[in-house]
Amino acid sequence: MPLRDALRVTRRGLGDTVRTDVARGRRGVALLVVMTLVTILIAVSSNFAYSQMTNVWMKGNISASTKAHFAARGGLKIALLAVNARTALS
């Protein structure tokens, strides 16, 4: 296919896809609206993901803190038993 015929076919296809009844200045409005909405959705979803990750970290910290508390309490009880047993034997 010669270049001239290829350009004619391309222009004809382009003319079919571009709407001529819309004013030239308004053609990008829909694109801007969609891009704005996508940006807002990305911001909201990333905030939600960060919030959920923070909640998971807080739950892990609370669980570790509880385990450490009861381990320390058990160690203290064992130490008191050892001191009391030593004083009872003396």
> What tokens does 24 get?
């030239």
Kindly state whether residue 13 falls inside one of the protein's structural domains: no
- Counting residues of the chain whose pLDDT is more than 70, the rounded percentage is 74
- Predicted confidence (pLDDT) per residue in 63-77, tens digit: 999 999 999 999 999
Number of domains in the chain: 1
Kindly state whether residue 62 falls inside one of the protein's structural domains: yes
The span from the CA of 8 to the CA of 14, in Å, is: 10
Angstrom distances, CA of residue 5 to CA of 1, 11, 12, 15? 7, 10, 11, 15
pLDDT classification of 37: cutoffs 50, 70, 90: very high
Q: How many residues does the chain have?
A: 90
Name which residue leads in pLDDT, 12 or 83.
83
Angstrom distances, CA of residue 83 to CA of 32, 45, 79, 80, 86? 76, 57, 6, 5, 5
Kindly state whether residue 53 falls inside one of the protein's structural domains: yes
The span from the CA of 58 to the CA of 65, in Å, is: 10
Mean per-residue pLDDT of the chain? 84
